[in-house]
Structures are given as structure tokens and as C-alpha cells.
Amino acid sequence: MQDSLQNSNYPLGDWANYHGHCFYCDGKEEPEVYVKNAIQSGMKVLGISSHAPVGFDTDWNMKEEKLPEYLDELSGLKQKYRNDIKLLTSMEVDYIPGETGPAHQRVVNSNLDYIVGSVHFVDAYKDGNHFSIDDSTEDFEKGLNQIFGGDIQKLVKRYFELQNEMLVKEPPHILGHMDKIRMHNRNRFFFNEKDDWYLDEVRGTMKLAAEKGVVVEINTKYFERANFSFPSRDHFKWMAEEKIPVTLNSDAHHPDKLLSGFKEILQMVEESGISELWHYHGNGQTFAPKKFNRNTIKW
């Protein structure tokens, strides 16, 4: 394992990852496999953030009945590997008004180290089934047409409206893949990401996150396969100028992807003028800025 990591494109160094999954949701392996890989790749901190349960069946959210087992297992792994890595317990929590979010009692009762808050579901069909913007492009078009009358601006603005509502009412610690709705543009042109109306939505959301003390993740999950990051690299220089608090996460679903895309994105981030990444601190200040260069965090 160590040899394969050293021969890969992974930047070995004291990195951290706060957004990642395991087999309690749609991840591929048991949590311990991710912990071992993180240690072998020299990571300083690993947060496991399985998709939190929601009140309906999905292909990726953790089942409600599995939550106690998930929390117990991570607690045991924290103790087992306490001398090797700082392991943190988290969940990626969907925000669905009136149904679930970072302030939901199941989340509060879980006593997590931190929370990743994300929007995947944007309103619902007439039959009550929730519309996910994270499914196939075909399903995305179906929701666009049936719920939003084919008006892409209406759909996109509703997506960002939900994120803004979460930031105001139930702010998480980290805002997950905040412009993920653009993912379908790689398969079909839905909207121009340089249009003023769209830039206003993206940047207004990041500004609100900063005002609420929420860290915006730069999500590298799609970089290797689609040359994508969330938010788009087009915003990195603006983020540096506006002093948006950011951290780097891979949204890993496979243990070999814990640092996927880091090497390339780190160079872009550094060259954009961003000089600090926000990392877990604890002691009443959950995340705090730390200087970095493309080789390591200055812990």
C-alpha cells in the first residue's frame, strides 16, 4: 500500500480531508480501511462524513437504524488509532426545509465533531418524491421540466436559495460542493457559468457563508475524471480577494481517493493567492486558518 501511494500522484504530506464516505452510506469500504489508508499516506487528520439519514429511501443516505452503529464504530476507531491520526466523526447532512438539516435532532444528538451541510434535493415532484440534482443528466432534465417548467434559472436560483436558507437558519461548519448544480454542464450545456445572474448566486452564497462563519470547501472529487472542482477554479482568485474561508476536501467514496485531485488543485489554489486553508482546531473554535504551501499544511 505504501509503495502504491508513493508512486501515485497523491501529494504525500500532512494533509487533512473532512468530507468522505464509507460503506454506511454510498462509500465502498468499511471505515477502518479509510483510516489505514490515511495513515499510510501521511495524513494528519481524517474526518469521515457519511450521508446522514433522511426521512425517505435513497441510494446513498445512511439508514436511520445504522446511525448508532456508525457512531460507535468511529468512536472505537478514534481510540484505536489515537496515536497515529486525528480521526473526526461527522456527517454530510442534507438540508430539506421542514424535514432535515444541520439542526435536526438526530444530528444534534449524534454529538459530531463538525457538520458538512449540503443541498442535493431541490423541491419535489407532484407525487411528493424529492428531486435530486445529483442524479443522471436525464433525471436532472426531468426535474427541470416537470418542477420548474424548463426554466433553468428558476431551478438554479432555487438551489442557491436553499443553501442560503441553510446558512442563515442552520449553519453547518463546512458548506459542501456549493456549486455542484453545474455538474450537468459537462454532459449538456444548460447555462452559461459566466453570466452575471449565475456569478451573483455563487458569489453571494460564498459571501454569506463567510459572514456566518462557515468554511467553503473546495471539492476535488470530479477533478480526475472530469477536470471539475466545486466551486469552479474560475472563482479561486475572487475567493482570495474576498478572503472566503476555504478548505480542501476530496469527497472520497473509495479509500484510494482520499487525496484525489489535491496535487493539481493545491497548485491552482496557491497560485490564485489563497494562502490559508481552514482546519479543525476544536476547543470552542472548530475550524481555524492555517498557512500552507503546495507541499504541506503548516500545522
**Domains recognised in the chain with CATH numbers:** 2-297 (3.20.20.140)
Residues 6 or more apart whose Cβ sits within 8 Å of residue 40: 1, 2, 5
pLDDT tens, position by position, for the chain (299 residues)? 333 444 456 677 789 999 999 999 999 999 999 999 999 999 999 999 999 999 999 999 999 999 999 999 999 999 999 999 999 999 999 999 999 999 999 999 999 999 999 999 999 999 999 999 999 999 999 999 999 999 999 999 999 999 999 999 999 999 999 999 999 998 899 999 999 999 999 999 999 999 999 999 999 999 998 999 999 999 999 999 999 999 999 999 999 999 999 999 999 999 999 999 999 987 767 999 999 998 899 99
Position 266: which residue type?
A: L
pTM: 0.95
Q: Label residues 47-75 b or e (16+ Cβ within 10 Å = b).
A: bbbbbbbbeeebebbbeeebbeebbebbe
- Cα(253)–Cα(26) distance, integer angstroms: 7
DSSP state of 25: T
For residue 62, the model assigns a pLDDT of: 98
For residue 5, the model assigns a pLDDT of: 45
**In sequence order, what are the beta bridge partners of 87?**
46
DSSP 3-state percent helix, strand, coil across the chain (nearest 5) = 40, 20, 40
Burial category of 158 from C-beta neighbours within 10 Å (exposed 0-12, middle 13-18, buried 19 and up)? middle
For residue 9, the model assigns a pLDDT of: 61
Q: Grid coordinates in use for 242?
A: 474576498
Q: Label residues 226-253 b or e (16+ Cβ within 10 Å = b).
A: eebbbbebebbebbbeeebbbbbbbbbb
Whether omega before 245 lies within 30 degrees of 0, making that bond cis, reads no
Q: Grid coordinates in use for 227?
A: 477536470
Burial category of 2 from C-beta neighbours within 10 Å (exposed 0-12, middle 13-18, buried 19 and up)? exposed
For residue 8, the model assigns a pLDDT of: 52
- Cα(16)–Cα(38) distance, integer angstroms: 9
Q: Are strands 16-17 and 45-51 parallel, antiparallel or unpaired?
A: parallel
- Cα(227)–Cα(183) distance, integer angstroms: 11
3-state secondary structure of 281: strand
Q: Grid coordinates in use for 234?
A: 474560475
